[in-house]
Structure 1
Amino acid sequence: MDRSGSGSGTRRGFLGGAVGGALALTAGAAVTDGSGAAAAPRRTAGRAARTARRVAVLGGGVAGLTAAHELAERGFQVTVYERKPHGLGGKARSMDVPESARGGRRPLPGEHGFRFIPGIYHNLPDTLRRIPFPGNANGCHDNLVASTEVMLARTGGRENLRFPFAVVGTPPPVLTPDSFTRMLIGLLDAAVHAPPHEVAYFANRLLVYFTSCDARRRETWERVPWWTFLKAEEMSYDYQRLLAIGITRNIVATKAEIASTRTVASVIEAFVFNLLGRGADGQPDRVLNLPTNEAWIDPWVAHLRSLGVEFRVGWSVRELKPADGRISGAVVTDPRGAGQLITADYFVQAMPVEHARRTWNAAVRAADPQLARCDRLQTDWMTGIQFYLTEPTPVIHGHVNHVDSPWALTSVSQAQYWKDRSFPADYGDGTVADCLSVDISEWDRPGILYGRTAKECTREEVAREVWAQMKAGLNDSGAAVLRDGALHSWFLDPAVGGLGTPAPTNDEQLLIHPTGTWFNRPTARTAVPNLFLAGDYVAVDIDLATMEGANEAARRAVNALLDEAGSGAERCAVLRPYQAPEFAPLKSDDARRHRLGLRNAFDLG
């Protein structure tokens, strides 16, 4: 972590930075240290704060674009600064495969990882509806396409498990602990082949969590690893692989042995109610009907430009500069590599946490202790690779979870969803018919071809290894689902570098959630009056690094900014996850039990 920023971590150091001195700084200069120890004031209300209108949004990912959208609709002058020349959209963007276009076609579409926009999301879909798209009554939201099933691909000749979402059937109109547990056991029996008593125990653990009060979730389950909560050590291989490890590595991108129960179980809770059709925006599994930039990011940027938003791409933020109790400016490097100081009335920092915290010097950190706690937040690698095939290969109409793969792979065949595109006619050299997009969630376990981790492999070896691991699950029963002869080419996220060397790097990592992570996640409002945080690491309702979390954090940041500015504009809607009314009395009783030091009423231990 870069702690070499200016200032001493004191209130005097924070207040002492002079604007005139900052204007003369180069990109690498520093403010002189101070002494003493006191916190900066939380608010500075007054005429200047109420009338200021200029906002610098630092970061052009989902959080930054959401903040710009909400602010522009409310009349603010917004400039978005994005460090990558083609980085608008952040990890959500699609990107062109270099030198892949022929004969007037578009380049092959690559991406950091496939888009997955489940029905548990509410804030992001609201934004999608407000982005105009030609021919769509509901804007970009109408570009969402529902999948109909999910597959758990097993290796060693074991049967692949297919779970059509239709098997849920008609849920009970009123949930009771008994009816809910029976329903969960039925769902799990249809989805996994673990021993019946283990399935029943897993269902009980979910009931315990679903009926736990907020205080127990936060104070107890946040500190308990998912592996421990499930008693996975005592269970069968299939229980461990499907219900403990598979969920955490493929959905939450962290290890079951360390992942917070609160994080994992909260996501499962949302998906269960989504499957039941309760409080959902749509189907549990949805993707886009075009490459992400075509279906969403490019129309979004065009709409924001029409609202007056300005974009500065290729501008990298180096350091925030304090003066007079506020952020006076940000030192940036422009596309030519020159250092500049940008100024604004308000700053919304919408950068990933691993990049944002490098810009907080000692004086900024001293102004708000929650910024320093962000150093404890952990990130990991979850990165995508795309395989381009010369024949349509719709493995299933949905995602494939390669649960036995050492590198925790998840994949989806994309051409089947892109009905308005013909791959051979529209992309590449005219011979590509499909794109199999794969997420690699585990980079530190040996593979099956070379016996090395993904980080230890070269880029070419990573591609061969991923292909082999997918074939091990899809082709092991005799069917040639994936054919070597159909493989045209592949594209690995360029954010990954140095593979096969002693110093591999990943410029676009993912926040993970070991136990206790929640206590280090900051709020959108900071103690610096004109600095606000937006990103999937901010404390929001969906306790997971997602586009939904980034969108919600941006809404909260904008609302805090409106409060600080004394604005009369309508506040952004912050849409909350669904809560089953039948469980409210059970949670209330659990709150009483928790205060008395008793376990949840359904907790069998």
Structure 2
Amino acid sequence: MTELVNFGAPSTIPQNLLSGVLSVPDMFLYMYSVIDLLGTPMKQDRYRDLISVNAFAATKPYATEASVGMYDEYLAKTFAIASYLTSAKSFQTFLEYGAYCPTPLYWALIGDSFNKFLGPLKSKLESLGVKINFNYQAHTLQLNQDGNISGVCFERCKGFDPSLSEFTWRQVRRDFLGGQAPELELVNIEGPLILAIPHEALSKLLSAAVLNRNPQLGECEKLVSVPMASIHLHLNRRFSQRLGAMHAVLPPEPVVLLNSNFKLSFVSNSSLWTGSTNTYLNIVASDSRPLGNLSAPSGFTADRVWNQQPSTLSIDHPMTTLDHILHEFRRFVPFEQNEIEIELLELDRNSGRELFINDVGSWKWRPESQTKIRNLFLAGDFCKNDIDVVCLEGAVVSGLQAAELVRQRDGIGAPIRIVAPKRHPHSTFWPLKILLAPYAAGAKVWSFCNELIESRNR
């Protein structure tokens, strides 16, 4: 099997170099370009550093088509963004954290996210006296004469879960609830308010009054997010038996499927979670936009509660988004349609819950946690923070930033200490960059000769 393992660890360099994912010279040049990027001083606020990963890598004299293309495989599947759009500085920050501590490559839950993460977090918050109201959406912000937030108007969404539905609550009310009138509820704000919402939701709350107080918040409209579709695929015992007969094992680590349409990757939850019996795979299509105009279909989404239309599978002759993704996935992990546990099959296209992307120049438009409205603070991975790259850690740090700003404003409690991940200075990589430069030149010649031989053999 051609595979890369724990790419940031020095101990895996020989294995990855000989992995067969790329030719040896092209893989060496890809690795060298990573070292080159790590050793290049860059700043978010310098115009000369407003370049994409592709622009950085492709303009180097040692670059080859294959070595540069490897970035696209990595970035598109991990962050849902092409290398020619990805901020080189943001990606550099991500690499710096991994280079300082390459092992373990990642942490994973050994169970579903609600029972292992969200549920315990909810219980802890409630034990501290936090009141959590579900099925509400922020509708408008109200300001008082002093220009502070005096209230938030919420719209109640009975039985509606916006974190799973492809519809907006307005569409559900109009199309499935007979045009039911909105139920609005005003909550008065007497102290600080932290809005921990996506940038698209924040933009919808920016009335003329809010923008007059803080015009820079309008720049959030320039931020970009894209959907990453995911499929919960449960396969029955017949598949498990066939897998065992082939002496094959699905790894517990995330698997990136090279050269796949829709930029597919998957995790075998059943290989990772304790107590699993049959095979349970979570498939992610990082670029499902080409399928955006097709039906999901709703019978295999959370919207089957509202839109109870019969849905069928047609994997051999794809007709829907689900069909196309499963058809492509089957090229890499063969399975039969009768091996699917249909009642557990579900697609989430994440419409309305898109992933913020670190495209070139976006840092300038990202808001600070502190706004110009004295009692309004922001949190979310799109806010400026030391982590920079879109991820759970960035969202957490932005929340800590907002909490510390509130603490400073009200003068209560002890300071909230935010521990920044460690990273090597750029100069650490300079000796390696210089030492390997002659080998990079040799690898470029080797790669060129390979291309020449291949072209003559065609």
Query: Could you tell me the TM-score, scaled by structure 1's length?
Result: 0.57
CA distance in 2, matches of 1:238, 1:201: 9
Residues 577/167 of structure 1: CA separation in 2 closer, same or farther (3 Å cut): closer
Contact 2:17 2:27 (C-alpha < 8 Å) held by counterparts: yes
Counterpart of 1:486 in structure 2 is: 339
Counterpart of 2:252 in structure 1 is: 397
CA distance in 2, matches of 1:247, 1:454: 22
Counterpart of 2:149 in structure 1 is: 327
More relative contact order, 1 or 2 (CA 8 Å, 6+ apart): 1
Contact 2:140 2:154 (C-alpha < 8 Å) held by counterparts: yes
* Deviates most, 332-341 or 575-584: 575-584
The one of 26, 42, 49 equivalent to 1:198 is 26
The one of 331, 354, 365 equivalent to 1:472 is 331
| 2:214 is aligned with 1:359 | no
The one of 77, 85, 99 equivalent to 1:250 is 77
Written as runs of structure 1 = structure 2, the 5 A alignment for 1:223-238 is: 223-231=50-58, 238=66
Counterpart of 1:147 in structure 2 is: none
Q: Which secondary structure state, in structure 2, belongs to the residue aligned with residue 163 of structure 1?
A: coil
Contact 2:3 2:21 (C-alpha < 8 Å) held by counterparts: no
Identity of aligned residues (%): 18
CA deviation map 1:106-151 (0-9, x unaligned) = xxxxxxxxxxxxxxxxxxxxxxxxxxxxxxxxxxxxxxxxxxxxxx
Q: Which secondary structure state, in structure 1, belongs to the residue aligned with residue 132 of structure 2?
A: strand
CA distance in 1, matches of 2:425, 2:64: 35
CA distance in 1, matches of 2:368, 2:138: 21
CA deviation map 1:391-414 (0-9, x unaligned) = 346522311111211100110110
Residues 169/260 of structure 1: CA separation in 2 closer, same or farther (3 Å cut): closer
Contact 2:42 2:89 (C-alpha < 8 Å) held by counterparts: no
CA distance in 2, matches of 1:372, 1:169: 44
Q: Which secondary structure state, in structure 2, belongs to the residue aligned with residue 406 of structure 1?
A: coil
Counterpart of 2:308 in structure 1 is: none
CA distance in 1, matches of 2:65, 2:27: 13
Post-superposition offset of 1:352: 0.8
CA distance in 1, matches of 2:56, 2:426: 24
CA deviation map 1:285-305 (0-9, x unaligned) = 221111110111111101111
Post-superposition offset of 1:456: 2.9
Q: Which secondary structure state, in structure 2, belongs to the residue aligned with residue 318 of structure 1?
A: strand
Post-superposition offset of 1:572: 2.2
After superposition, the CA RMSD in angstroms is 3.0
Contact 1:232 1:244 (C-alpha < 8 Å) held by counterparts: no
| 2:282 is aligned with 1:437 | yes
Counterpart of 1:161 in structure 2 is: 2
Contact 1:232 1:240 (C-alpha < 8 Å) held by counterparts: no
Which letter does structure 2 place at the counterpart of 1:396? P
Residues 220/244 of structure 1: CA separation in 2 closer, same or farther (3 Å cut): farther
Contact 1:384 1:438 (C-alpha < 8 Å) held by counterparts: yes
Which letter does structure 1 place at the counterpart of 2:361? G
Written as runs of structure 1 = structure 2, the 5 A alignment for 1:8-87 is: none
Which letter does structure 1 place at the counterpart of 2:399? A
Q: Which secondary structure state, in structure 2, belongs to the residue aligned with residue 265 of structure 1?
A: helix
Post-superposition offset of 1:316: 0.9
Q: Which secondary structure state, in structure 2, belongs to the residue aligned with residue 545 of structure 1?
A: coil
* Deviates most, 517-526 or 358-367: 358-367
Post-superposition offset of 1:444: 3.0
Residues 562/192 of structure 1: CA separation in 2 closer, same or farther (3 Å cut): farther
Q: Which secondary structure state, in structure 2, belongs to the residue aligned with residue 286 of structure 1?
A: coil
* Deviates most, 508-517 or 459-468: 459-468
Q: Which structure has greater helix proportion? A: 2
CA distance in 1, matches of 2:346, 2:20: 32
CA distance in 1, matches of 2:292, 2:101: 34
How many positions carry a matched residue from both structures? 376
Residues 220/189 of structure 1: CA separation in 2 closer, same or farther (3 Å cut): farther
Which letter does structure 2 place at the counterpart of 1:456? L
Post-superposition offset of 1:356: 1.4
Counterpart of 2:435 in structure 1 is: none
Post-superposition offset of 1:492: 0.9
Post-superposition offset of 1:232: 8.0
Residues 582/532 of structure 1: CA separation in 2 closer, same or farther (3 Å cut): closer
Post-superposition offset of 1:350: 0.4
Query: Which structure 1 residue ranges, 5 or more long, are not aligned?
Result: 1-159, 171-182, 278-282, 424-432, 446-452, 476-481, 497-505, 588-602
Post-superposition offset of 1:523: 0.9
